[in-house]
Amino acid sequence: MASCKVPNDRICVDVITSSFSLTKIVTFSPSIVIINKSTVELEVVETISDKEQDKWKSVNPKEIISFWSHNIKDGIMCVRYKHNRATSSPFMMNEKYRTLLSMNDKERPVIYVEVSATNFDSLRVIFGDYKIDDASLLVVNCLKNDSVSLLRSYCSHTIVRRRRDTLSSTVVNTSARRTQILPPQNYVYYAWLHPSKSKELVISCGLKKTKLELTYQCGFLGKDGDRNLSYTIFTVGAQTTLLVADDPEIIEAASA
């Protein structure tokens, strides 16, 4: 029997046997651990119905702190920069995933977050500085002469754009029901402003339009003269990619 004075009595216990099977090793840990791998001071708080449940807890760079949830079933958290209080949208802290959070800050417009589970059911919420391949979605326009329109009609997004000519990265915040034009032979990195909401995208080329869910699939966008405009969605590692092309060999190679 163990006793621990923590909120809601929520602790995680792991019991294993030593290599010689003579000793039981019991490990106690917090239900949630916050790890700040970024280079900026952060603050975190749990929210229920958009109401903060405690004071904001500080997490210095490279620091690890324990976190005790009031409502792990819903598991909603917000993070903000300590120096200017730029705050993220709420995100889930009770399921495994990784994403980028928009922070409404010019110098650091997004922050990376990853939620993972340990072997004994505790959770780790890991924050880090943004890197290009952290974006939730990469959209590639392989068409030689046609632009592709991306309509965000279900939730707002943060767009992490890669410019082909300069190879420099910029971040542009856009609101819902706005259209982003992706020029021919260009690509763009996407992150969702509200990661807990629906992740659907409407793409169009000319008068051809279709609504997509970001799951593995190939599809036909439409016919333009002798060309068949097609798309494929695939995943390499943790990166989901949406590719639009009129060359069936490109679609086939990307989907293999």
Q: Please report the DSSP string for 210-226 in residue order.
A: EEEESSSEEEEEEEETT
Same domain, 190 and 213: yes
Q: What percent of the chain has pLDDT over 90?
A: 32
**Average of per-residue pLDDT across 141-155:** 79
Lowest-confidence segment of 81-90, 123-132, 194-203 by average pLDDT: 194-203
Q: Is 29 found in the same domain as 105?
A: yes
The CATH number of residue 182's host domain is 2.60.270
Q: What is the pLDDT of residue 109?
A: 85
Residues in Cβ contact with 237 at an 8 Å cutoff, skipping those fewer than 6 apart? none
Which pLDDT value is given to residue 155?
47
* Same domain (yes/no): 125, 13: yes
Q: What is the pTM of this model?
A: 0.70
Residues 75 and 151 in one domain: no
69 shares a domain with 36:
yes
Domain end residue (candidates: 77, 108, 130)? 130
- The answer to the question of residue 117 being in a domain is yes
Output 168 or 121, whichever has higher pLDDT. 121
The mean pLDDT of 214-236, rounded to a whole number, is 86
Question: What average pLDDT does the chain have?
Answer: 81
Residue 59 banded pLDDT, cuts 50, 70, 90? very high
Let me know whether 126 and 143 are in one domain: no
In a domain, 3, yes or no: no
Domain of 175, in residue numbers:
133-255
Contact 137, 243 (CB under 8 A): no
Q: Is there a domain that residue 140 lies in? A: yes
> Around 71, how many Cα atoms within 13 Å sit in the side-chain half-sphere?
15
- Is 41 part of a structural domain of the chain? yes
Q: What is the pLDDT of residue 211?
A: 87
Q: Which of 92, 109, 130 is the last residue of a domain?
A: 130
Which residue in 184, 178, 254 sits closest to 219, CA to CA? 254
Task: Let me know if residue 241 belongs to a domain.
Answer: yes
For the cut 50, the answer to whether the pLDDT of residue 172 exceeds it is: no
* Domain termination residue (choose one: 130, 156, 186): 130
What torsion, rounded to 10 degrees, do the Cα atoms 203, 208, 213, 214 define? -50
Q: What is the pLDDT of residue 31?
A: 82
The residue that leads in pLDDT, 176 or 40, is 40
Q: How many domains does the chain have?
A: 2
